[in-house]
């Protein structure tokens, strides 16, 4: 489907449509991307590629978590621009809008409606214990109340769609456990209402590190610009970043994550791009220069088609907006059904 010829079909909505547990339908997987920064290679390898790769096997829901972006100091125009950019990039990486659901969180008001009901099922202590809240609240001078209740909104995001699986990195596992605890308690107190979600921890979890500081994770915020390969970086910028990547004083190429984390990171990136194991690939290169040349080529090979498709899609933002509006519309019926069940169960008149 090209942006100009697109017709937005309302296929039997693969995701977010009908309620109820898996069985009558396929496994449903959900992922949210927070528009707080430009997407990078870590996002692509750790989150986007796994979910796009399974969209024909599992019902797939991807939402742009713009409400979560408001939990820390933010710039309104930047959040809006990043939301559109990330949506465009999701389509550019191959998310099929006819097959999967792609929408913006704030355009489906049932997220916030369910959030409130779940807040009435969550203890202050439970939310306060979350490691991410503790870390982020010590870094900020003015802590927003929404930062404390962020994991409850995340629980609402997940439970709203009767999600079966949530692909999570280790950093988000505690939040998923909270969602499970909230769902379990709600079901026990008010009657069976929510599907119990489970974490899908990737078998091989590529954890892409900052190229200029391999002790830090490559990230939208917190990592260095020089050490982060953004999906829309031009080829010469990718080349420069890889060539300046920190290695170590050794001469031979070997895979030893503990003692040579910089080289190990390059080998892991290469393996994630071209296949094979980092140890096996290490044997193919005699110098760091050779290895870096191969990494530049592999990363560029992966990102080039995405960049080109993004350029094409970005020419028609109206198309991307229509995909998002259509996604929210298709998600609405199932979301309304979940909220109705929760309202009735908890004692509201509906």
As annotated, the active-site residues are 136, 217, 220
Rounded Cα distance between 138 and 141, Å, is 7
**Residue of 13, 30, 43, 332 interacting with ligand AMP (CB under 6 A):** 43
The pair of three-digit structure tokens given for residue 145, joined into one six-digit string:
């109340």
User: Which DSSP category does 45 fall into?
Assistant: I
Query: Least separation, in Å, of the C-beta of 285 and ligand AMP?
Result: 23
Residues 140-179 that bind ligand AMP (CB under 6 A): 169
User: Which DSSP category does 148 fall into?
Assistant: H
CA-CA distances (angstroms) from residue 206 to 46, 50, 257, 289? 6, 11, 13, 23
Query: Least separation, in Å, of the C-beta of 318 and ligand AMP?
Result: 27
Query: Least separation, in Å, of the C-beta of 322 and ligand AMP?
Result: 25
Stretch that binds ligand AMP, among 5-13, 39-47, 106-114, 256-264 (CB under 6 A): 39-47
**Per CB under 6 A, 50 contacts ligand AMP:** no
Closest CA to 135 of 46, 228, 221: 221
Tokens 């984390």 locate to: 261
**Per CB under 6 A, 206 contacts ligand AMP:** yes
**Per CB under 6 A, 330 contacts ligand AMP:** no
| Alpha-helical runs (H) found in 22-172 | 41-43, 49-53, 76-92, 110-119, 124-128, 131-139, 145-160
Q: Give residue number: closest CB to ligand AMP.
A: 46
Query: Least separation, in Å, of the C-beta of 93 and ligand AMP?
Result: 13
What is the helix (H) or strand (E) element at residue 298, kind and residue range? helix 288-314
Q: Which is nearer to ligand AMP, 59 or 210 (CB)?
A: 210
**Per CB under 6 A, 207 contacts ligand AMP:** yes
The pair of three-digit structure tokens given for residue 250, joined into one six-digit string:
């050794």
Query: Least separation, in Å, of the C-beta of 153 and ligand AMP?
Result: 14
Q: Which is nearer to ligand AMP, 19 or 261 (CB)?
A: 261
Q: Are 29 and 58 in contact (CB under 8 A)?
A: yes
Between helix 173-190 and helix 317-346 the angle, nearest 10°, is 40
Number of residues that bind ligand AMP (CB under 6 A): 15
**Per CB under 6 A, 47 contacts ligand AMP:** yes
Rounded Cα distance between 293 and 280, Å, is 17
Q: Which is nearer to ligand AMP, 59 or 268 (CB)?
A: 268
Q: Which is nearer to ligand AMP, 17 or 154 (CB)?
A: 154
Query: Least separation, in Å, of the C-beta of 204 and ligand AMP?
Result: 11
What residues does 131 pair with on adjacent strands? none
Rounded Cα distance between 157 and 335, Å, is 10
**Per CB under 6 A, 257 contacts ligand AMP:** no
Interface characters, 208-227, with ligand AMP (x: CB under 6 A): x--------xxxx-------
Torsions phi, psi of 115, nearest 5? -50, -45
Residues that bind ligand AMP (CB under 6 A): 33-34, 42-43, 45-47, 169, 206-208, 217-220
């Amino acid at each position: 489907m090209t942006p100009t010829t697109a017709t937005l079909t309302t296929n039997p909505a693969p995701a977010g449509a009908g309620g109820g547990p898996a069985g009558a339908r396929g496994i449903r997987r959900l992922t949210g991307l927070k528009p707080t920064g430009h997407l990078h290679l870590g996002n692509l390898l750790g989150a986007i590629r796994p979910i796009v790769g399974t969209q024909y096997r599992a019902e797939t829901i991807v939402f742009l978590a713009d409400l979560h972006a408001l939990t820390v100091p933010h710039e309104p125009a930047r959040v809006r621009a990043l939301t559109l950019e990330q949506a465009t990039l999701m389509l550019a990486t191959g998310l099929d809008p006819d097959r999967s659901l792609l929408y913006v969180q704030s355009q489906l008001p049932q997220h916030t409606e369910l959030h409130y009901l779940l807040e009435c099922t969550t203890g202050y202590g439970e939310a306060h214990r979350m490691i991410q809240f503790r870390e982020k609240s010590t870094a900020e001078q003015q802590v927003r109340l929404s930062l404390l209740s962020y994991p409850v909104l995340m629980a609402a995001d997940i439970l709203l769609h009767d999600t079966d699986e949530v692909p999570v990195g280790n950093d988000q596992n505690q939040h998923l456990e909270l969602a499970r605890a909230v769902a379990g308690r709600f079901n026990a107190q008010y009657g069976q209402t929510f599907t119990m979600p489970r974490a899908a921890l990737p078998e091989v979890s590529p954890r892409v590190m900052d190229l200029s500081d391999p002790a830090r994770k490559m990230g939208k915020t917190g990592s260095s610009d020089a050490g982060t390969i953004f999906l829309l970086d031009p080829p010469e910028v990718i080349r420069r970043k890889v060539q300046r990547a920190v290695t170590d004083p050794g001469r031979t190429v070997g895979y030893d994550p503990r003692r040579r984390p910089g080289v190990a990171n390059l080998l892991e990136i290469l393996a994630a791009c071209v296949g094979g194991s980092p140890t096996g690939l290490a044997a193919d290169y005699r110098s760091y220069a050779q290895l870096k040349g191969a990494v530049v080529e592999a990363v560029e090979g992966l990102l080039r088609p995405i960049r080109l498709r993004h350029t094409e899609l970005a020419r028609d933002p109206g198309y991307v907006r229509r995909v998002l509006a259509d996604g929210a519309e298709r998600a609405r019926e199932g979301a309304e059904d979940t909220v109705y069940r929760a309202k009735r169960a908890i004692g509201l008149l509906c």
